[in-house]
Amino acid sequence: EVQLVESGGGLVQPGGSLRLSCAASGLSFSGYSMNWVRQAPGKGLEWISYITGSSSVIHYADSVKGRFTVSRDNAKNSVYLQMNSLRAEDTAVYYCASSYGHLNYWGQGTLVTVSS
Amino acid sequence: DIVMTQSPDSLAVSLGERATINCKSSQSVLSSSNNKNNLVWYQQKPGQPPKVLIQWASTRESGVPDRFTGRGSGTDFSLTINNLQAEDVAVYYCQQYYNIPRTFGQGTKLEIK
């Protein structure tokens, strides 16, 4: 069974930083691209980042470009999202999701709240 | 960026009846390499992550009831739910995986009338 488990969310002040982690099991991790998708409270889904299995290709949504950095460690079956210069509008549940084409497996998400 | 537009934003259908959700992309998501539409439908229930219902616009995921049917090609797609059940109450999203950024529709909230 495939499992993706996010961690690292919490309350942070505007301008602060947070690092999210996503631990994967049950899949050949290095063979999958990984994504981060967020969902603000009561809102829709927003794709924010993508990294290929070898980390050779990385993409970001314009809304987070220059502030967020995605990385992965295939030896640890994990993907990370370093979030800097956080804003109130970054408040959301953050999901990691694997992709082989579409986003096929999703974690349960971790809540990030940016507030003073 | 490819803009995905769903209609309607919300929908109320009686139990046992049919619900249809539409999704339109601002440009074609049909891949010339495999002649498949890079379009997926998700179902999201409160407090849960999205669940894949249909990929390649019309291929039902394993375990998804055959009441769910995806159709369309190019820029126009639909998700039809026949014989609506109470457990189908959810928000439904389409998403294109033709290119980056992977854009979602705004979601359609399905309720029981």
Which one, of B102, B48, B38, B44, lies nearest residue A35 by Cα?
B102
Instruction: Return the SS3 of A89.
Output: helix
Give the tens place of pLDDT for each residue, A76-101.
Answer: 999 999 999 999 999 999 999 999 88
| Cα A72 from Cα A78, distance rounded (Å) | 6
**Residue the block writes with tokens 């631990």:** A23
For residue A101, what pLDDT is reported?
84
For residue A115, what pLDDT is reported?
97
Minimal Cβ distance to B55: which of A44, A95, A101: A101
Six-digit token string for A20: 């999210």
For residue A46, what pLDDT is reported?
97
Minimal Cβ distance to B52: which of A50, A102, A108: A102
Minimal Cβ distance to A102: which of B97, B105, B107: B97
Q: Where are the beta strands (DSSP E) in B1-113?
A: 4-7, 10-13, 19-25, 30-31, 36-37, 39-44, 51-55, 59-60, 68-73, 76-81, 90-96, 108-112
Residues of chain A in contact with residue B97, where contact means CB-CB under 8 angstroms, are 99, 101-103
Cα atoms found within 13 Å of the Cα of residue A37, Cβ hemisphere only? 27
Read off φ and ψ for residue B9, nearest 5 degrees.
-75, -30
In B, minimum Cα distance to A110 occurs at B49
Residue B97 near chain A (CB below 8 Å):
yes
Give the tens place of pLDDT for each residue, B1-57.
Answer: 999 999 999 999 999 999 999 999 999 999 999 999 999 999 999 999 999 999 999
In the predicted model, is pLDDT for residue A66 greater than 90? yes
Triad B4, B10, B15: Cα angle to 5°: 125
For residue B72, what pLDDT is reported?
98
Give the tens place of pLDDT for each residue, A18-64.
Answer: 999 999 999 999 999 999 999 999 999 999 999 999 999 999 999 99
Residues of chain A in contact with residue B44, where contact means CB-CB under 8 angstroms, are 45
Give the tens place of pLDDT for each residue, B47-103.
Answer: 999 999 999 999 999 999 999 999 999 999 999 999 999 999 999 999 999 999 999
- Work out the average pLDDT over A60-78: 97
Residue B109 near chain A (CB below 8 Å):
no
The neighbouring-strand residues paired with A20 are A81
Pairing of strands A58-60, B10-13: unpaired
Triad B28, B30, B35: Cα angle to 5°: 160
